[in-house]
C-alpha cells in the first residue's frame, strides 16, 4: 500500500480564535518552524506531509477560501524573490512555496455539517486511494530527529496495508478533549494496538469502565493524536450518515464501524501534538517548535528571561 495523498481539514472558521480569525484564516497564522523561519501554520502541516512521502495535498476549506490560500502563497513566493534577491534561504523557501502550490488541490465544505462531513468532502480528491489525514489546527513535534510524526504513521500503515490512527497515552483529566480508544497490543510490536472500541470525548466514568488498555500507566488512556491513515473504506461509512441528512456527521462512529470491518491499528506516535484552537495553544506550539528546532538556545534563553521578569514583578 503506497500512500501518496494527504488531506488537511481546514474548513472551520476558528470561533475559538476570535477576533483574529475574523481578519486572517487561522491556518495562515504565522509560527516560527523548527528551521527558524516564520511560516503560515498550514505550510508547516503541509511540509510535515511532504517529509513523510506525500506527493499530493488536498485542503478541505470553507467556500471561497481556496482562492485566498492560492493568492496568499503566490504573494509570499513572489515577495521572497523580490525582497531578498540572491539570498539563499529566501530562494529555497520560495521554491518550497512554489512546490506546495503545484501539489495543492481544494475541496469546499459548503455547509458546516461536522468533522466527518469535512473528511467526506475530500472523497473525490482521494479517488479511492489510501490517504493521510491531518488537522488544519494541529501542529506536531516529533521526538525522533530524522522521522516526523506523520512519517511514523505512514511507515506502519504501509507495512501493514491497513488504516492506522496515531494515538498518545493521555492523562485521565484530559481525555474529555479527544476521541479515546482501547485495544489489544499487537504481538511483537511495541506501541501498536488492534483497535476494539472508540468513544468520542468520553467522561472519566465511562472511560474507566470501557476504555482501559492493559499495559498503560494507571490513569492514562489512548487518545487520538490528530492524524490518521485511512483506506477509502472510510468514505462508504461516512456516506451512511450523509445520506441520513445528519446535521453533524461524525468521524468517530465511522471509525468504530471500520474497526469491525477490516484491520485497523493504533500507533503510539513518538512526539506531541498542539491544538492551536485551545487557549494558549498557539503559544504552546511555538515554544515546543522553538525548543525542538534550530532556535533551541534562543527560545530557552527567552523563557528564562521572561520567568525571571515575572518573578521580579511578583516580588515587588
pLDDT: which is higher, 100 or 13 = 100
- The DSSP code for 52 is T
pLDDT for residue 26: 76
Q: Using an 8 Å Cβ cutoff, are 148 and 273 in contact?
A: no
Q: Which of 301, 230, 226 is nearest to 271 (CA)?
A: 226
- In this predicted model, what pLDDT tens digit does every residue of 284-304 receive, in sequence order? 999 999 999 888 899 999 999
Query: Is pLDDT of 124 > 90?
Result: yes
- In this predicted model, what pLDDT tens digit does every residue of 70-90 receive, in sequence order? 999 999 999 999 999 889 999
pLDDT for residue 23: 55
What whole-number distance in Å separates Cα of residue 196 and Cα of residue 315?
53
What whole-number distance in Å separates Cα of residue 254 and Cα of residue 257?
5
145 — pLDDT class (breaks 50, 70, 90): confident
Helix axes 41-50, 88-103, angle to 10 degrees: 80
Q: How far is CA 251 from CA 48, 134, 241, in A?
A: 23, 13, 10
pLDDT for residue 295: 85
Q: How far is CA 166 from CA 58, 75, 222, in A?
A: 20, 34, 9
Average pLDDT, the chain: 92
Q: Which of 227, 167, 162, 236 is nearest to 198 (CA)?
A: 167
Q: For residues 149-174, give the mean pLDDT.
A: 97
- In this predicted model, what pLDDT tens digit does every residue of 2-11 receive, in sequence order? 999 999 999 8
Kindly give, in sequence order, each residue whose CB lies less than 8 Å from that of residue 70, ignoring residues fewer than 6 positions away.
Answer: 101, 104
- In this predicted model, what pLDDT tens digit does every residue of 252-294 receive, in sequence order? 999 999 999 999 999 999 999 999 888 888 899 999 999 998 8
Amino acid at each position: 500500500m503506497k500512500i501518496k495523498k494527504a488531506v488537511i481539514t481546514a474548513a472551520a472558521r476558528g470561533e475559538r480564535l476570535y477576533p483574529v480569525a475574523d481578519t486572517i484564516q487561522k491556518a495562515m497564522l504565522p509560527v516560527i518552524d523548527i528551521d527558524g523561519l516564520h511560516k503560515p501554520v498550514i505550510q508547516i502541516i503541509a511540509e510535515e506531509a511532504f517529509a513523510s512521502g506525500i506527493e499530493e495535498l488536498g485542503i478541505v476549506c470553507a467556500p471561497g477560501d481556496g482562492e485566498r490560500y492560492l493568492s496568499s502563497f503566490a504573494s509570499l513566493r513572489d515577495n521572497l524573490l523580490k525582497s531578498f534577491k540572491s539570498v539563499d534561504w529566501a530562494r529555497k523557501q520560495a521554491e518550497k512555496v512554489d512546490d506546495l502550490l503545484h501539489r495543492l488541490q481544494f475541496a469546499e465544505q459548503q455547509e458546516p455539517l461536522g468533522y466527518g462531513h469535512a473528511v467526506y468532502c475530500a472523497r473525490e480528491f482521494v479517488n479511492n486511494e489510501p490517504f493521510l489525514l491531518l488537522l488544519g489546527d494541529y501542529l506536531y513535534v516529533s521526538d525522533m530527529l530524522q522521522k516526523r510524526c506523520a512519517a511514523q504513521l505512514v511507515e506502519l500503515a504501509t507495512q501493514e496495508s491497513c488504516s492506522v490512527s496515531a494515538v498518545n497515552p493521555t492523562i485521565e483529566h484530559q481525555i474529555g478533549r479527544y476521541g479515546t480508544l482501547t485495544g489489544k497490543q499487537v504481538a511483537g510490536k511495541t506501541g501498536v494496538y488492534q483497535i476494539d472500541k472508540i468513544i468520542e470525548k468520553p467522561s472519566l466514568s465511562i472511560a474507566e469502565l470501557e476504555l482501559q488498555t492493559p499495559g498503560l500507566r494507571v490513569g492514562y488512556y489512548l487518545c487520538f493524536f490528530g492524524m490518521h491513515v485511512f483506506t477509502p473504506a472510510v468514505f462508504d461509512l461516512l456516506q451512511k450518515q450523509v445520506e441520513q441528512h445528519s446535521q453533524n456527521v461524525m468521524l468517530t462512529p465511522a471509525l468504530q464501524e471500520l474497526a469491525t470491518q477490516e484491520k485497523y491499528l493504533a500507533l503510539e506516535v513518538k512526539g506531541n501534538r498542539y491544538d492551536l484552537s485551545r487557549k494558549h495553544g498557539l503559544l504552546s506550539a511555538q515554544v515546543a517548535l522553538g525548543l525542538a528546532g534550530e532556535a533551541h538556545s534562543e527560545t530557552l534563553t527567552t523563557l528564562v528571561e521572561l520567568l525571571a521578569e515575572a518573578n521580579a514583578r511578583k516580588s515587588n
